[in-house]
């Protein structure tokens, strides 16, 4: 039976993506029902409203903790005749210690024990720490709270994002390199010590060094070698001679030019989102970014390992456990971090190949948010792994046939998925694992040498259909060590396929997004296969002074690797680089002549269409996967094909009290749009959507829709407890509701592009909800296409995110697409520009108002990656009457041609769709006018008149957005 059955993780994923568990095929288990009697899946339940003392694990009396469910299930495993599902209800499950699983918790007889979210994907949130309360004002904008003395606190989270340990120089966010840790200082002198360095006295002249109990340094040791970062405590400072002494050796000698910053002192706390913890007094100090500590949720992490699955030994493994649809996050880092020992033999462990001491993680750093050791057939799927201190998933030594699939992995301290094999010659035991269909982004927030997937001396793993972006160093790295017998080496037979990489190597040098070291130097070579991969953007922060990043780097003794259909572009260094490596097997690779794009399977590169977290925070809730991305607030929601808005399905609100919601892990200042199909003949219907914070049923409303008791003839808006009718009459058909939080100090609320309210008090959102909250009114409505835009600018507050490329950015209230203002370009050489955070595989749209009677006009918008003034990379749409007075034009590179779309007076929508990865589809009012290749991403939007040609006229530009749809 076990040999014929579909893998539990596949079946559970299908159920979750479908949005429901079919009730007729499950057995709801109360305490005392023998598992051997069950023929279909057995179910237990956990809820934040449950009880570990009085609950029995049934749906009516759930337990309160995962640990209670684990312990209760443990004694029932021997007779398993089906999967056992532990259904975890939506809510926050704060942990003060690691949730441990051992071989005693394994599935039996070929079946899995499945710990899964019973609401929408990610709605059950397992949090590795506790909320902080009891804040009081310390000084200025800094608050403090007593969290107890003697804690190990090495990172902090506020409103779902990572706070920064107080430092100097202060962190400076760079949109082009968001994972760079800059700003930096640089060491001086040539001491080449591992434990001390000289600094420029004027750099740190303002620091008293009065309390070094938490002080430390983050440093790229090695002078100009920007390879690895060290986080090391400071033991003393000789201010007279400008010398900082460290408690631990760093990886490389600290020569002149090592980039660094100091951190961990209260006197350095001077910027929003910085913190400091005084372990002696127990006080935590924090400078809230919003300025309001009472509206800020601060989490102190308590654990480095949130979920740990460990067998007793390599021959007594934990196995057949699945974690499905959970949010896992908010774990701790460490006081001291270095990659490997400094010298061979420093471990003192007596390994045959002691030189591998310099490659393997130190014992205390072999950890991660989800930690696996001595396991097989463990599955982590459909989950959101976010805000980890170390890596999101860490497999140590003996692990095989594990699966990490369909996950959104973001904002990780070290790496996304880290596979740490044994020392060479000590057993090929980390093998045949699968990392498939994951989006991994914002990597290495605490470690400069982080990567998307890190494979160390591990074999025959399958790494497929990934999108990896925003990494300070690597995307996919496969390493061993050079100059050892090949019989003792295990980093071979790995398949990397269908991987899309962009915006990597943002803070380091002498590297590449695809990197290997020490794999093989004797024939027959031990090889790994790299197939159907695109890399676009391998560039480093300007402070980096090592060799410029390459696209692929095969470092020392990485001979004979296989590359097929690999395309590299926009690399700061050369596309492909060998260092004492070569003899590779290549076919259709872009760094060799004869490369052809027709052999690239762009549709098969990156995450697949079934990926359950489209875009991550750039959310697209279009119901193509049913209600998989949503949680149920009230009623029994369903999807329908009766009314469609661009996709095959919509959420059908019918009857009374039907509500769905989506909660995000962090507050956002973005634009959200939701579409409602309204039957205006229904005069006793309630149908509203809210985008705000505080819970889907909380009091802090920012809502739009229909509220019959307020008005049956007009749309209404709700702010907190007050509902007000707008001036916009109801009409049958689809209507767009929009919330723009871009200002950070309130929200602008729109119905069909018309501004209806601008309440203050709430400057960011963390949830979207829609439906009917109220008893007493009935009616059917349809909801579709809930989209969180990565970027939005409506010019309501002036130029906003745009700056002047030429002329000035003037706004006008004479005409607007949404709201009351727009950017007006009304002179020659008048161009507005915005640069985005990294390069985007997204959809950009711009609205412009054209006076078709003006036959002497040249105004365009361009969305590409060439820079606003570059002439060769244009991907532009607009008007150029020198080419055509009657039709709109398209510009690709230096060539402008007329389209088939006629000019008409009024507002028109221009769209650039870069989602394919092969190029861009350019549309005017929905009509496809061009599909040029070459440029496959964009990082810039520019609007206006580039030319001194006296072809002037007032053109209004508005409602600029970037989103996943």
- pLDDT of 257-287, one tens digit each? 999 999 999 999 999 999 999 999 999 999 9
Number of separate domains in the chain: 3
In this structure, the answer to whether residues 624 and 763 fall within a common structural domain is yes
Would you place residue 14 in the very low, low, confident or very high pLDDT band (cuts 50, 70, 90)?
very low
Q: What is the pLDDT of residues 146-189, one digit of tens each?
A: 999 999 999 999 999 999 999 999 999 998 999 999 999 999 98
pLDDT of residue 31 exceeding 60: no
pLDDT of residue 26 exceeding 80: no
In this structure, the answer to whether residues 783 and 802 fall within a common structural domain is no
In this structure, the answer to whether residues 32 and 91 fall within a common structural domain is yes
Residue 917 lies in a domain: yes
Residue 278, pLDDT score? 98
Domain end (from 743, 762, 788):
788
CA neighbor of 486 nearest in space, from 455, 512, 459, 511: 459
* Assigned token pair, 2: 């076990």
CATH, residue 676? 2.60.120.200
Residue 599 lies in a domain: no
Mean pLDDT in residue range 368-397: 99
Mean pLDDT in residue range 94-111: 98
In this structure, the answer to whether residues 909 and 840 fall within a common structural domain is yes
CA 862, CA 849: separation in Å to the nearest integer?
Answer: 16
Residue 778 lies in a domain: yes
Residue 258 lies in a domain: no
In this structure, the answer to whether residues 799 and 770 fall within a common structural domain is no
Q: What is the pLDDT of residues 197-255, one digit of tens each?
A: 999 999 999 999 999 999 999 999 999 999 999 999 999 999 999 999 999 999 999 99
Element (H, E) at 230: strand 230-238
In this structure, the answer to whether residues 808 and 764 fall within a common structural domain is no
pLDDT of residue 442 exceeding 70: yes
Mean pLDDT in residue range 654-658: 88
CA 628, CA 666: separation in Å to the nearest integer?
Answer: 20
pLDDT of residue 20 exceeding 80: no
CA 576, CA 515: separation in Å to the nearest integer?
Answer: 10
Task: List Cβ neighbours of 549 (8 Å cut-off, separation of 6 or more).
Answer: 504, 505, 508, 509, 511, 512, 513, 538, 539, 540, 571, 572, 573
In this structure, the answer to whether residues 808 and 742 fall within a common structural domain is no
pLDDT of residue 9 exceeding 80: no
pTM score of the predicted model: 0.86
Assess contact for 767 and 830: CB atoms under 8 A: no
CA 136, CA 146: separation in Å to the nearest integer?
Answer: 9
∠ CA 452-456-460, rounded to 5°: 90
Residue 205 lies in a domain: no
In this structure, the answer to whether residues 726 and 815 fall within a common structural domain is no
CATH, residue 314? 2.160.20
CA 771, CA 676: separation in Å to the nearest integer?
Answer: 10
In this structure, the answer to whether residues 627 and 669 fall within a common structural domain is yes
Assess contact for 911 and 843: CB atoms under 8 A: yes
Residue 647, pLDDT score? 65
The residue behind tokens 């219907």 is 685
In this structure, the answer to whether residues 839 and 782 fall within a common structural domain is no
Domain end (from 788, 805, 820):
788
pLDDT of residue 491 exceeding 60: yes
Residue 549 lies in a domain: no
Residue 25, pLDDT score? 32
> Could you tell me the maximum CA-CA distance found in the chain, to the nearest angstrom?
86
Where is average pLDDT lowest: 513-517, 643-647, 710-714, 901-905?
Answer: 643-647
In this structure, the answer to whether residues 681 and 784 fall within a common structural domain is yes
Residue 582 lies in a domain: no
Mean pLDDT in residue range 376-392: 98
pLDDT of residue 618 exceeding 80: no
Handedness of CA 748, 750, 753, 756 (dihedral sign): negative
Task: List Cβ neighbours of 893 (8 Å cut-off, separation of 6 or more).
Answer: 872, 873, 874
Domain end (from 754, 770, 788):
788
Would you place residue 428 in the very low, low, confident or very high pLDDT band (cuts 50, 70, 90)?
very high
CB atoms within 10 A of CB 216: 24
What percentage of the chain exceeds 70 in pLDDT? 95
CA neighbor of 603 nearest in space, from 650, 562, 565: 565
Domain span holding position 663? 620-788
CA 809, CA 830: separation in Å to the nearest integer?
Answer: 8
∠ CA 925-926-928, rounded to 5°: 110
Residue 171 lies in a domain: no
Assess contact for 947 and 953: CB atoms under 8 A: no
In this structure, the answer to whether residues 762 and 872 fall within a common structural domain is no
């Amino acid at each position: 039976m076990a040999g014929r059955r579909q893998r539990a993780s596949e079946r559970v994923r299908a159920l979750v993506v479908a949005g429901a568990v079919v009730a007729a095929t499950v057995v709801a288990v109360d305490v005392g029902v023998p598992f051997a009697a069950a023929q279909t899946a057995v179910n237990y339940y956990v809820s934040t409203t449950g009880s570990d003392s009085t609950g029995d694990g049934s749906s009516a009396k759930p337990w309160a903790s995962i640990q209670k469910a684990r312990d209760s299930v443990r004694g029932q495993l021997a007779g398993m005749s089906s999967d056992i599902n532990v259904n975890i209800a939506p809510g926050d499950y704060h942990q003060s210690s690691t949730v441990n699983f051992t071989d005693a918790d394994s599935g039996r007889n070929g079946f899995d024990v499945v710990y899964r979210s019973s609401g929408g994907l990610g709605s059950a949130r397992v949090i590795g720490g506790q909320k902080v309360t009891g804040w009081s004002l310390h000084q200025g904008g800094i608050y403090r709270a007593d969290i107890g003395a003697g804690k190990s606190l090495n990172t902090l989270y506020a409103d779902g994002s990572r706070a920064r340990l107080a430092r100097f120089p202060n962190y400076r966010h760079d949109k082009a390199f968001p994972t760079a840790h800059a700003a930096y200082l640089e060491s001086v002198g040539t001491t080449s010590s591992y434990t001390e360095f000289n600094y420029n006295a004027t750099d740190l002249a303002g620091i008293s060094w009065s309390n070094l109990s938490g002080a430390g340094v983050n440093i790229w040791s090695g002078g100009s070698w920007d390879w690895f970062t060290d986080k090391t405590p400071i033991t003393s400072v000789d201010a007279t001679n400008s010398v900082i002494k460290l408690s631990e050796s760093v990886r490389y000698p600290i020569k002149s030019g090592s980039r660094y910053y100091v951190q961990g002192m209260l006197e350095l706390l001077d910027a929003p989102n910085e913190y400091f913890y005084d372990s002696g007094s127990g006080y935590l100090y924090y400078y809230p970014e919003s300025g309001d500590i009472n509206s800020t949720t601060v989490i102190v992490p308590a654990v480095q390992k949130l979920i740990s699955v460990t067998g007793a030994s390599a021959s007594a493994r934990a196995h057949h456990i699945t974690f499905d649809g959970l949010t896992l996050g908010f774990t701790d880092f460490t006081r001291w971090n270095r990659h490997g020992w400094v010298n061979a033999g420093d471990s003192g462990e007596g390994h045959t190949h002691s030189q591998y001491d310099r490659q393997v993680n130190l014992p205390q750093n072999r950890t991660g948010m989800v930690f696996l050791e001595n396991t097989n057939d463990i599955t982590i799927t459909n989950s959101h792994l976010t805000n980890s201190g170390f890596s999101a998933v860490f497999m140590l030594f003996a692990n095989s046939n594990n699966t990490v699939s369909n996950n959104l992995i973001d904002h990780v301290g070290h790496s996304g998925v880290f596979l740490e094999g044994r020392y060479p010659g000590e057993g090929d035991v980390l093998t045949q694992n699968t990392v498939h269909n994951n989006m991994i982004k914002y990597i290495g927030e605490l470690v400069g040498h982080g990567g998307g997937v890190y494979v160390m001396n591990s074999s025959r793993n399958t790494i497929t259909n990934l999108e990896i972006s925003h990494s300070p160093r690597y995307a996919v790295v496969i390493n061993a060590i050079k100059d050892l017998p090949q019989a003792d080496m295990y980093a071979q037979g790995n398949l990397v396929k269908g991987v899309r990489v962009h915006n990597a190597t943002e803070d380091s040098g002498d590297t590449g997004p695809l990197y290997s070291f020490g794999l093989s130097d004797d024939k027959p070579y031990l090889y790994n296969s790299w197939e159907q991969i695109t890399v676009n953007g391998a560039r480093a922060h300007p402070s980096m002074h090592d060799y410029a990043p390459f696209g692929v780097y095969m470092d020392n003794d990485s001979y004979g690797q296989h590359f097929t259909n690999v395309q590299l572009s926009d690399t700061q260094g050369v596309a492909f680089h060998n260092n004492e490596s070569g003899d590779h097997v290549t076919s259709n690779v872009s760094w060799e002549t004869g490369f052809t794009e027709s052999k690239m399977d762009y549709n098969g590169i990156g995450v697949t269409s079934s990926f359950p977290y489209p875009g991550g925070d750039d959310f697209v809730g279009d119901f193509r996967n049913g209600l998989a991305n949503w949680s149920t607030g009230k009623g029994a929601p369903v999807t329908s094909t009766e009314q469609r808005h661009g996709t095959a399905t919509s959420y059908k609100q019918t009857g009374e009290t039907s509500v769905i919601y989506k909660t995000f892990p962090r507050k956002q200042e973005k634009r959200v749009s939701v579409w409602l199909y309204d039957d205006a003949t229904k005069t006793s219907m309630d149908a509203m959507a809210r985008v705000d914070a505080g819970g889907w049923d909380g009091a802090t409303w920012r809502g739009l829709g229909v509220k019959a008791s307020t008005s049956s003839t007009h749309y209404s808006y709700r702010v907190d407890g007050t509902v007000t009718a707008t001036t916009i009459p109801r009409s049958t058909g689809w209507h767009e509701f929009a919330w723009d939080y871009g200002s950070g100090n309130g929200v602008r609320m729109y119905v069909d592009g018309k501004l209806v309210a601008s309440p203050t008090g709430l400057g960011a959102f963390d949830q979207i909800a829609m439906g009917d909250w109220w008893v007493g009114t009935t009616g059917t409505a349809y909801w579709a296409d809930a989209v969180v835009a990565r970027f939005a600018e409506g010019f309501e507050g002036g130029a906003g995110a745009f700056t002047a490329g030429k002329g000035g950015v003037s706004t006008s209230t004479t005409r607007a697409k949404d709201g009351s203002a727009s950017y007006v370009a009304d002179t020659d050489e008048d161009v507005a520009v915005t640069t985005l955070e990294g390069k985007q595989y997204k959809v950009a749209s711009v609205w412009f108002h054209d006076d078709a009677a003006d036959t002497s006009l040249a105004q365009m918008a361009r969305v590409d990656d060439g820079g606003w003034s570059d002439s060769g990379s244009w991907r532009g749409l607009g008007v150029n009457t020198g080419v055509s007075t009657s039709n709109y034009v398209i510009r690709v590179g230096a060539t402008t041609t007329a389209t088939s779309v006629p000019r008409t007076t009024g507002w028109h929508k221009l769209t650039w769709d870069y989602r394919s990865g092969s190029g861009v589809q350019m549309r005017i009012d929905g009509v496809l006018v061009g599909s040029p290749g070459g440029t496959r991403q964009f990082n810039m939007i520019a609007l206006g008149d580039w030319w001194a040609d006296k072809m002037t006229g007032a053109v209004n530009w508005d409602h600029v957005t970037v989103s996943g749809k």
